[in-house]
Copies of this chain bind each other. A is one copy, B any other.
Amino acid sequence: MPDFTVPLSSYTEKYRYKYLALFHALRSAIHDGTLPEGTRLPSTRELAEMYGLSRGSVSQAYEMLLAEGYVRTTVGSGTFVTGVLGKAPESAAATAQMTLSPWGSRMVAAMQQSGDAAEGLANTPAPAAAEALISFRDSGPREALFPSAEWKSALAWVARSKHGAHAAAAADPAGDRELRAAIAAHLRRSRGISADAEQICLFNGSMQAITLLTQLLLGEGEPAVLEDPCYYGITRAVSACGGVAVPAQLDGEGMVPRDFVARLLFVTPGRQFPTGVVLSPARRRELLAWAARRNAVIVEDDYDSEFRWSGRPLEPLKALDRDERVVYIGSFSKTMFAALRVGYAVLPRSLIRPVTLAKALYEPAPPAHQEQQALARFMLTGGYERHLRRMRRHYGAMQAALRQGLEQEIGDLFELRPADSGLLVYALWRRSPEEFQAFREAAYARGVVFRNAEIYRQTPGPPAACFGFAHLDKNALYEGISRLKEAWKDIQVTRV
């Protein structure tokens, strides 16, 4: 079979695994007609010899082609290209259109109108491929600095111990008991929250907690109070339930309390998302008094409290929550690593049972139980505290570098808002909305992006940006700032 050839080498650079490289090389060759319909592919042994691959890799690639309908096998005679003609073009989709439930329609609309989808860079040309994009959109963590060896040893400890399988069979839908106890201890020590393990329910990240709580508490047509701006995940959760978002204004003391006619309120007291304002003690008291008067639940999202640069932390609302109206939400995705989807809620006692049942409806046993156990181990052995201390120093330096760099290079474009904690810098645009859009596009063309804070807003407001830095190293940080400066120059030149 000497006439058979695929440009494998150009794919091996792109794909880490040989079978994936081969699969993509073959698929492209089928798509572009190099391997027309009816072509008999070499046997796995022949192809393995031709390209110095293992037979296993070739079989794997063939099976994937088979799975996707690009080839068919005939017993005794071999593997043949079916071509792309027989494959239903994905776009033609003359398939049935399903009618969604009201929840389904609201959810789809909310997901499409918010988040990245709402950021509006879709029509902007992408930067030259050669230049790697520097993104200030993310907000952590820097995974290269994560103590993976220590984490792996915690995972290995769980795998060795009798824990794993057996404990899981009888697992609590609220999540691993030891992790909940470790979180309770951590919250008591570092945040002044007195909660026991029973009050803590684990979730697959904080959005699962926010969505389920909203579903549990908010009926169709009912109002929920949201900070304006706020995280779009909350807006989505409220919209999916058919709830009515009531935007609450912000000022220098955080959310401005009013006698909201509502029974659910979301707030980020420790560091308002995304503006960074800290909710003042007086406002905290007012919100708690409001909740008592209205028999309301306050959901306190303490998404970013572990990293503090200056000032002293105020106690969370939850620590002042005498009559149990506050749900406190935290997460490990920013402090550990992004793939660790572990969030939690500290629940008022009256909500423990409904929340646990809601979780159990979707997940009778929690996923990632071994990771939960490893995280408990990591916390109980002091690994988590040590890691936080190290990262606090590192992120503190990065935050200072970012602020200084932005002020120095493009301080005439942005007014950086103060923040005494957190992995985001919020910056108000000093010029016109048109210039903001032009600047974002020019920056993108230069290979640098940042968040348009408009996606967090419920009511119109002046342009603003969010700069996340935690995932970057210093070189990328400075390079990103320098590209921003160049991008501004690009616009000035264009205009001349």
Contacts and interface: CB of A to CB of B under 8 A. Distances in A.
B339 A365 contact: yes
A93 B196 contact: no
A458 interface: no
Interface stretch (A252-260, A278-286, A416-424): A278-286
Contacts of A350: 93, 95-98
B222 A101 contact: yes
Given A205-B365, A365-B338, A68 B16 contact: no
A101 B185 CA distance: 32
B211 A68 contact: no
A219 B361 contact: no
Contacts of A370: 339, 371
A66 interface: yes
Interface stretch (A317-325, A447-455, A461-469, A474-482): A317-325
B101 A219 contact: yes
Contacts of A166: 143
Interface residues of A, number: 126
Contact of A364 (B14, B218, B233): B233
Contacts of A81: none
Interface stretch (A34-42, A45-53, A352-360, A429-437): A352-360
Contacts of A56: 312, 381
B358 A104 contact: yes
Contacts of A357: 107-108, 111-112
Interface in A328-365: 337-339, 341-342, 348-351, 353-354, 357-358, 360-365
Copies in the complex: 2
B196 A101 contact: no
Interface string A168-203: 110100000000010011001110101111100000
Interface string A52-86: 00001000100110111100000000000000000
Scoring A96, A297, A367 by chain B CB atoms within 10 A of each residue's CB, the highest score goes to: A367
A483 interface: no
15 contacts: A19-B380, A24-B192, A67-B184, A67-B196, A67-B281, A69-B196, A95-B324, A96-B350, A104-B358, A111-B357, A146-B165, A165-B339, A207-B361, A240-B361, A339-B365
Interface of A: 14-17, 19-20, 23-24, 56, 60, 63-64, 66-69, 87-88, 90, 93-104, 107-108, 110-112, 138, 143, 146, 148, 152, 155, 159, 161-162, 164-166, 168-169, 171, 181, 184-185, 188-190, 192, 194-198, 204-205, 207-208, 211-212, 215-220, 222, 233, 236-237, 240-241, 263, 281-282, 284-285, 292, 295, 297, 312-315, 320, 322-325, 337-339, 341-342, 348-351, 353-354, 357-358, 360-371, 380-381, 471
Given A15-B192, A112-B357, 15 more contacts: A87-B322, A88-B323, A95-B323, A96-B324, A101-B219, A103-B216, A103-B219, A111-B361, A143-B165, A143-B169, A155-B155, A164-B339, A205-B363, A207-B364, A341-B368
